[in-house]
A and B are shown apart, each in its own frame.
Chain A
């Protein structure tokens, strides 16, 4: 009986220990999740916008611009019971996020260039995104990123939010609770559900893989693609193959990428970076052809867009070697993790070519605070911020032949703490108690 009680107490304590974190992990939009766009006063569209899911407004009633805007997998709800309930649920979700404790305060820091792991990130006032914000889900399909922004959220033209290592779940992993209004800049690619107290504006050509939910103000659209997750979401579109073979200057190159998971036909495009000089991508077939003329390492992203407008992409790194080059091998294969403000030093080496070699960052970026010595290959410094950083280091030998290797460097928050199961005193106590327990049992059993 006592044993059962003890086990029950231990179980209860363990359950309580994890319940707080479970609360953080569960953000529900209620019926608002069925809306791609939900406004408080008006919803106004200009141009060929596509919204996956319902478009609604409440307590206002004006929804204009559909058509030319298109609602896919949903309907327009103009201050009806559905829209009113969605607004109620939106308020509940907004308040839930607002009451979640911050784990990292980013006030004053531009989101551009940051790589963040799941957590609750806060701004006491405005938040700005200029460039690319990378959300690394660390392979966890249930990873969650919460952004609590005290006032306005603004993204510069061409900015993007990219979710990587999503654990096979391409659905929204980010919620943006915005204390006033959100403005998504021209051509930006945004990810995550925006829950704004006032208005949300998508400027020309910006896209969002997440909902636009405004409590009191207007949602303004202009030739956008607003995609939502769940039953209404786009399917996961995969671009293959995972890697492309390298090429050689002067040798014709012919490889194709393909796409799957969506509705054919697909249109292929280079969405970031650039193909090696003189290679071209056929947008209809995905064939990459041509004869490379310039050696080097090229990093680019190919995006496939299916017949319904849903898209998927994959980043490639291709090395074009000089004719007659042998393979340059970059080592080590992995780099160890570092800790913030702690000295870090690792040396990259190269082999297979003609020394001396020069080293350079040719893709991604080193953790802030670390730098690469182009002559010695030494990566050294003291990392300034925690996170997971992807970087590709290239090596070039004296003949101009090149090789590269991609690394992931984990920077931990502070010096790792240790956690002995039992320290010396604990081990001594356990040893004495085991002997005492054995003698006790032997006495009781008359052994």
Chain B
């Protein structure tokens, strides 16, 4: 074991065993979970030692290993959809904007982190999952609940931690993957991992994607008439391409110190096809993002210290977008619209034992956020936070209290949380419970965006949420079962209201209650089979006093079920899965609904020569071409892709 990591792993020994068990309990693949973290993977200073959230070790979490989808064409959103508590909001087919909802929270209320660094959209709000490169990820950790104390303001529904690919082993390694499929969809990705000294390692990865997007779909033109015929249309201006890269390197710089660097960049363009009823064939979007982070980690006696700095920049340019839909790019009344956002942060984190039953850690973070755009102007705000958390072991009980103070511009808030785990018997069962309170500061877009009928409101206050949850996990080598329930209450929600005579404007007037049940099962079956199940029940209720009170919140599916069975042997692999989403309301009055959807996917692959695998991946086997997303954008019917991949 390299000496740096011998030091850095020291905190693991102090971590309460209950927390370690919990961290791996919900890993979909128990066998891999037991492997622990690969040695060369950059870690947060205080870690639990197994896949799972390191910052919220007792949170209800799910780990999605990206590796198991290598033979499939999967976006980040599709991988997240395999977890309970997740709802993905897509605007059309592949490559189109996609946002995330955790436990019924809005996209702005769910944080997405890449290697621990928070990502954000150009307006400072929701992250577009379609811009994230799936092939550059090692795994995705979904932690659910109000986790502001652990991750900072904004984590009201939960957090998705994207863990980038890592070097594997101590020799030069490579991996490549090519795919081609329906609707002119192609992909290529590759990575090279190389050691350059005894303990220094790096990985460089690239992903290229392109889709023609011209898929057929069926639509009724007179939906009020029973049995009205469906007409076939072809989606136009839904093409997209994207290039992404990742560079990650880690090297010791002293006996007990390591430095690691991370760069991730992405650039892409896509058509903005608009809803099927009002298409926008001339609207386009270009976006780019870059993130650079550097971290130095070391130890001082039993304590571990990490200093990290990072910055990111997001740019977006809209072309051919007009108040009436689309327009001819380059004409006088059709100016291009620009928006950018950037963040700079510095973070100091330290942790150490407090007696032999506690591990105390603290974090101080500061920086600035900036947003600039034709329709927002230039705005900056300072960001500061300080947090303290403790891991306390009291026999069979482990406690995880945490508190964090966040200052975001003029908004300030305290986010306390506590979680506990209990391993009451000498059985593979664990009980857990948690509670948290936090807030979300308004985004730059909500505060300042003036665009057509959208009016800004610089007087907005933060949204607030609190939640409690509890769960039980049964875990053996062959079977992991977990069940959890939660209740969340939101108030001061930012809601866009009609602002007569001709605008809508955001106000802090909403409130909601969301109750949920989350079930997950992972079973290792004979003959190399693995079965997975994820189920979410959600009851989201508008509690804003008035006419909306008691109605369901729109766009929250009351039931969602994901089932997958996969087989992997030495030369063959296959999978079949189903993703069922119950009908959900499309408006706030329970008078318009998105129909229930059932997606069946399947794939088969074989190692045809040496390390070369060829896979066939089929989606939407029922060829349902009437599927729509939440905004009534059509979704593709049956599609087929061929994937060739090799790991050297």
- The answer to whether A and B belong to the same complex is no
